[in-house]
Amino acid sequence: MNPLRYGQFHVGEDSDFQFVIERHLQICSEFGLMEFYVEISTHDINIDIENQLSSDYNTQPTPQTDQTLIASSSRLQIVGTCQPPTEDLGKFSDEDEYEASVPIRMSHQDKEDDNVWEDVVEEELANFYSQVDVERARGFTGDFGPRSDDVGELYEGMKFPTKAALRRHRCPKFGKECAWRLRATQKVNTYHWEITICPEKHKCVTMTLSQDHPKLDSDVIASFIISMVTLEPDVSVASIIERMNTQFQFEVSYKKAWLAKHKAITRVFGNWESSYSKLPRWMAAIQHFLPGTVVQFCYKPRPRGVPSDPNIRIFQRVFWAYKPCIDAFPHLKPMVQVDGTFLYGKYTQTLLIASSQDGNSNVVPLAFAIVEGETLEAWAWFLKRVRLHVVGERHNICLISDRHPSILSAVSDPRTMWQPPYGHHVHCIRHLASNLNKKYSDSNLKDLFVNIDFHRMAVPRQTIIHPGPEDPSLLTLQNKHISEHVWQGYPERVLRCRRSSKDHPGLPPQPILNVLKQTGFYGVSRLRYFEFDNALVSALVERWRPETHTFHMPQGECTITLQDVAILLGLPCVGVPIVGRTDLPWATVCEGLLGQTPLEGKLKGQRLSMKWLDDTFSFANFPPNPTAVDIEHFARAYILKLIGGYLMPDKSSKEVYLMYLPLLADLTAVRTFSWGSAVLAYLYRELCNATDPNTSDISGCMVLLHLWAWDRFPGLAPHQPHFIDPQLNVFGDLPPLGYRWTCIDVHYHQRYDTLKKYRLLLDSLKEDQIKWRPYDEDHVSQQIPHYCIDNRHIWLANVPLICFHIVEWQYSDRVLRHFGMDQPIPENPVDIDFLHTLKLTGNISANWFIEHQFYIHVWNNWQARVAFAPPYHGFGTHVRVYNNLRNNLDLTIHCKSRDDDLGKHVLHYASNGKVPFIGSIYMKHIGIDTRATKNAFGELHKNAHVCLKRVILAFAMNGKSN
């Protein structure tokens, strides 16, 4: 027998330890045993801190009697699994639980990897010492792969000590140009990875210099961003890429930066297993610094065949409730609402929450629990502890939840103490409303269901005064109008204006500018970007009536007409209506008219990505020596961006409909189409849809709506516009009148910041605060270009405005004061409720030229439908009540002092098809006021009897004598 030999070798790194093992394997036939004597000289200050913290916890007594904190818990490990428990509810008791404050370690096993080249997030491997079994190494006769980076050829049977060591020898072009793969496996009870399948020889050859940075991998990046992740754990991947680009002048891929971020988070905050191990100590710290906090753990029984280890337990559930929340519950509403949500991460468990409300309806959390899922056992376990530690002995507590079967079964169990007289279980109305909406897909029905109790409990304002109209023959949609919503006292709704671009396409090149002048889109191209005022738009929508397509103001009706489109935007308003087919091969159409085929995913049906359109046809890509074909392609793309971004944008804010593109095929004939009527029809439809209280967004030409409101109501305008074109020498032609509002500053400060302020301003408008004819002023009319006033007679026509599936009527006879005429009693509007139901969805193959043939015929004969009335010279003799409804309200105030019933009747008449006033108007005008004011005749009266006679006269003149 050979004598024992001892050698001394200093082990400082993993490579040194690997050398010792390899040396032992070379001479293993001579020596059967190798002994190590390890001398540890490193002092870990963290151990002292942990011991000190554990001792501090032990010195502070815990109020709970069912939980004991022990100092040795820091050495106890808990292995967590994700399988649901098999515990029977009948055996549910506290005796079956194990309560302790111990660190938790989740089990993890490496498995076979079909493709070791794939970059996936993996947990940091332990030091090499924990992966080497010396006893098993005695029988290991294979060979490890080379330790250097130059591995040479890979072959079947080649072994590597770790998975990371194998991955370090992958091809630099993997995932980009190289498609070569192999397969490696970590077999059972071994500590090395072996190549099991290796295809033919790797023949990837780099033909060009690599632009990659092979050494700047995710591990290196993670070490550089440790400080960033420590200060800001939710740092964006884009910030990491920018940091690496600044420091190394190299832009790493998104995937590599994402991996580096998660590796850095693992280094700073630990992985999933370490997080579970820290959970008991975290709970113990809460109890130490917040005495009275309840924490209870529940562990799973040890499976059969697993040896007993007092230092390892299997995590199942944890419940905790903070002491301040427990103390607050007696002062809250006698209700508890419970719900659950699944957790993200490696271990998919469920978080259960119990909450309540204070007197101001603020939510107060009561208790939390992490359980294996929304099972019967988990809910019963959670509800029992909510009753025991939070609710206590209080009776008649309302428990609110959804209709989950596990909750229903747990509440029905008397041991949870949620049956009368302890508690009363009810269902959450919002969950029921969601189920109702899922069944019938009707949001209106859902809102009605949610507000059942509100309508039953609230005192309706109609008991004070009827909101009108008294005669619903004209305003037939009042019950579905936003004004009714406001009148009933619902929360305010502020619309969000949508558009597809926040940047104007900019100054086009000279060749495209000539095409824009030829096609009629020159005026729109001159407008600039400005911020939309959502509160102003919402206030105007509250006064918009879909039945008449007009805004109902206290002084009468007003609306946006083709006159405003022509003068403010400079679009042609006379010509062929905008109709056609919507089932064309749009990829082929783009190739023929734009010269480009959209990339995959950029074309969905007939909707084209605006971002692709901007990137492909940016002015930076405009050729220096363009051909006639290039100019046509860029001109069509520019016009399409104007249509999808400003004139007729949809609510997606990302796409434009290609149904307009075939109309741009012949650029010389584009001006023959009535683009102005299509823009106005689209805006009318969006305003009508926005009157629905359930609508939160609005699209359409919001630029036109803002410009119109600023011209008509100076009190709403943000600034005084200029009338000098600073770029007249560049363009040569005057811009449309709307340019004067956008040429000063790109951003403007809105006049008011809330919807209530705008609403009050519109309610209190006076006659001299409205410009009925803003374009007839001398200093304004001189600035209007000639192309804006062509075919001005169509402005007065009662005609249908058509834009593919949209048909909306322009009722010029209702707003003749816009054109300097006296306002007679208009005709009843056309009933087009059916047309409001037409949508592009489901009508892809429709030919709208055939569908709207009747309305197209009416449009082509617009000369026969031009409205006419005598010139306006102040108040007339037979339409005083209609022309000045605001003064009618003054009459109502005076009549109320003598005859309350007649005063109410006049107020109803003022809103009968004329002004559906909301909220503040009614509350302002129901009081008695005997002050002398000007009546509808413009006279100063001092006697209420005189006013009463004239009101009766006005009723008789309007055919409503009473």
The pLDDT tens digits of the residues spanning 849-861 come to 888 999 999 999 9
The mean of the pLDDT values for the chain is 75
Indicate the helix (H) or strand (E) that contains 758. helix 755-763
Are 710 and 747 members of one domain?
yes
Whether 34 shows a pLDDT value over 80: the answer reads no
Burial 752-761 (b: 16+ CB within 10 A, else e): beebeebbbb
Of 294, 306, 229, nearest to 260 (Cα)? 229
Whether 465 shows a pLDDT value over 50: the answer reads yes
Mean pLDDT of 871-895: 44
User: What's the confidence (pLDDT) of residue 489?
Assistant: 79
Are 710 and 849 members of one domain?
yes
Whether 68 shows a pLDDT value over 60: the answer reads no
Whether 863 shows a pLDDT value over 90: the answer reads yes
User: What's the confidence (pLDDT) of residue 453?
Assistant: 54
Q: Tell me the two tokens of residue 81.
A: 């699994």
Strand, coil or helix: 352: strand
Q: Tell me the two tokens of residue 305.
A: 């065949």
Residues 313-325: tens digit of each pLDDT: 788 999 999 999 9
Would you say 95 and 295 are in contact if contact means Cβ atoms under 8 Å apart?
no
Burial degree of 952 (CB within 10 A; 0-12, 13-18, 19+): middle
Amino acid at site 580 = G
Are 629 and 668 members of one domain?
yes
Mean pLDDT of 123-150: 39
Of 588, 493, 553, 592, nearest to 766 (Cα)? 553
Whether 454 shows a pLDDT value over 60: the answer reads no
Beta strand extents in 543-667 (DSSP E only): 544-545, 550-553, 556-558, 603-604, 607-609, 655-657
Strand, coil or helix: 32: coil
Indicate the helix (H) or strand (E) that contains 341. strand 335-342
Mean pLDDT of 289-300: 93
Are 772 and 802 members of one domain?
yes
Strand, coil or helix: 377: helix
Are 279 and 368 members of one domain?
yes
Q: How many helices (H) and strands (E) does the chain have?
A: 37, 22
Q: Tell me the two tokens of residue 76.
A: 């106890």
Name 720's Cβ contacts closer than 8 Å, sequence gap at least 6: none
Are 278 and 252 members of one domain?
no
Q: Binning pLDDT at 50, 70 and 90, where does residue 440 land? A: confident
As beta bridge partners, residue 538 has none
Residues of the chain above pLDDT 70, percent = 68
Of 560, 562, 503, nearest to 790 (Cα)? 562
Are 694 and 669 members of one domain?
yes
Whether 407 shows a pLDDT value over 90: the answer reads yes
Question: For 553, what's the count of Cα atoms within 13 Å in the CB-facing half-sphere?
Answer: 25
Question: For 137, what's the count of Cα atoms within 13 Å in the CB-facing half-sphere?
Answer: 23
Q: CA dist 26 to 20, 32, 33, 137, 143, Å?
A: 10, 12, 13, 11, 11
User: What's the confidence (pLDDT) of residue 160?
Assistant: 83
Q: Tell me the two tokens of residue 746.
A: 């790109």
Residue 483 lies in a domain: no
Whether 97 shows a pLDDT value over 50: the answer reads no
Indicate the helix (H) or strand (E) that contains 357. strand 350-357
Residues of the chain above pLDDT 90, percent = 34
Q: Which tops the pLDDT comparison, 690 or 460?
A: 690
Residue 157 lies in a domain: no
Mean pLDDT of 378-406: 93
Residues 608-659: tens digit of each pLDDT: 999 999 889 988 888 888 999 999 999 999 999 999 988 999 888 789 999 9
Mean pLDDT of 7-22: 68
As beta bridge partners, residue 673 has 576
Burial degree of 768 (CB within 10 A; 0-12, 13-18, 19+): exposed
User: What's the confidence (pLDDT) of residue 744?
Assistant: 56
Distance CA 640, CA 657 (A): 9
Residue 125 lies in a domain: no
Are 382 and 408 members of one domain?
yes
User: What's the confidence (pLDDT) of residue 176?
Assistant: 61
Q: Tell me the two tokens of residue 949.
A: 């006679």
Mean pLDDT of 648-677: 92
Mean pLDDT of 111-127: 38
Cβ neighbours of 812 (radius 10 Å): 24
Structurally, how many domains does the chain consist of?
4
Distance CA 444, CA 448 (A): 6
Region of residue 154 (left: phi > 0; alpha: psi -120 to 50; beta: else): beta
Would you say 871 and 821 are in contact if contact means Cβ atoms under 8 Å apart?
yes
Are 176 and 222 members of one domain?
no
Which H, E and C letters describe 482-505, residue by residue? HHHHHHCCCCCCCCEECCCCCCCC
User: What's the confidence (pLDDT) of residue 332?
Assistant: 92
Indicate the helix (H) or strand (E) that contains 78. strand 77-80
Mean pLDDT of 368-378: 94
Residue 692 lies in a domain: yes
Of 456, 681, 674, 449, nearest to 566 (Cα)? 674
Burial degree of 763 (CB within 10 A; 0-12, 13-18, 19+): buried
As beta bridge partners, residue 609 has 655
Whether 560 shows a pLDDT value over 70: the answer reads yes
Domain final residue pick, 838, 859, 878: 878
Would you say 797 and 812 are in contact if contact means Cβ atoms under 8 Å apart?
yes
Domain final residue pick, 878, 898, 933: 878
Strand, coil or helix: 85: coil
Whether 555 shows a pLDDT value over 80: the answer reads yes
Residues 919-962: tens digit of each pLDDT: 323 222 323 232 332 333 233 333 333 333 333 333 333 433 33
Would you say 633 and 593 are in contact if contact means Cβ atoms under 8 Å apart?
yes
Whether 278 shows a pLDDT value over 70: the answer reads yes
Residue 866 lies in a domain: yes
Burial 130-161 (b: 16+ CB within 10 A, else e): eebeeeeeeebeeebbeeeeebeebeeebbbb
Residue 119 lies in a domain: no
Distance CA 510, CA 516 (A): 10
Of 758, 674, 760, 664, nearest to 717 (Cα)? 758
User: What's the confidence (pLDDT) of residue 730?
Assistant: 64
What percentage of the chain's residues is helix, strand, coil (to nearest 5)? 40, 10, 45
Q: Which tops the pLDDT comparison, 716 or 860?
A: 860
Whether 862 shows a pLDDT value over 80: the answer reads yes
Q: Binning pLDDT at 50, 70 and 90, where does residue 66 land? A: very low
Of 437, 394, 440, 447, nearest to 417 (Cα)? 394
Q: Which of 254-258, 510-514, 805-809 has the lowest mean pLDDT?
A: 510-514
Strand, coil or helix: 835: helix
Q: CA dist 126 to 164, 345, 867, Å?
A: 11, 21, 87
As beta bridge partners, residue 80 has 106
Q: Binning pLDDT at 50, 70 and 90, where does residue 301 land? A: confident
Q: Which tops the pLDDT comparison, 579 or 825?
A: 579
Whether 216 shows a pLDDT value over 70: the answer reads yes
Q: Tell me the two tokens of residue 687.
A: 């305003």
Gyration radius (Cα) of the chain, Å: 39
Q: Which tops the pLDDT comparison, 821 or 84?
A: 821
Q: Which of 11-20, 303-312, 511-520 has the lowest mean pLDDT?
A: 11-20
Name 25's Cβ contacts closer than 8 Å, sequence gap at least 6: 137, 140
Give the residue numbers spanning the domain of 241: 218-269
Mean pLDDT of 192-218: 69
Distance CA 574, CA 787 (A): 12
Cβ neighbours of 959 (radius 10 Å): 7
Q: Which of 26-30, 466-470, 482-486, 686-690 has the lowest mean pLDDT?
A: 26-30
Residues 542-552: tens digit of each pLDDT: 999 999 999 99
Q: Tell me the two tokens of residue 443.
A: 């949001």
Mean pLDDT of 580-605: 92
Model pTM score? 0.50
Cβ neighbours of 943 (radius 10 Å): 11
Distance CA 8, CA 631 (A): 83
Strand, coil or helix: 82: coil
Are 259 and 386 members of one domain?
no
Distance CA 715, CA 760 (A): 12
Q: Which of 142-146, 253-257, 265-269, 525-529 has the lowest mean pLDDT?
A: 142-146
DSSP state letters, 937-953: TS-B---HHHHHHHHHH
Amino acid at site 833 = D
Mean pLDDT of 560-583: 94
Are 529 and 664 members of one domain?
yes
DSSP class of residue 581 equals: B
Residue 488 lies in a domain: no
- Is the dihedral angle over the CA atoms 313, 314, 317, 318 positive or is it negative? positive
Cβ neighbours of 364 (radius 10 Å): 15
Are 675 and 545 members of one domain?
yes
Residue 474 lies in a domain: no
Q: Which tops the pLDDT comparison, 38 or 190?
A: 190
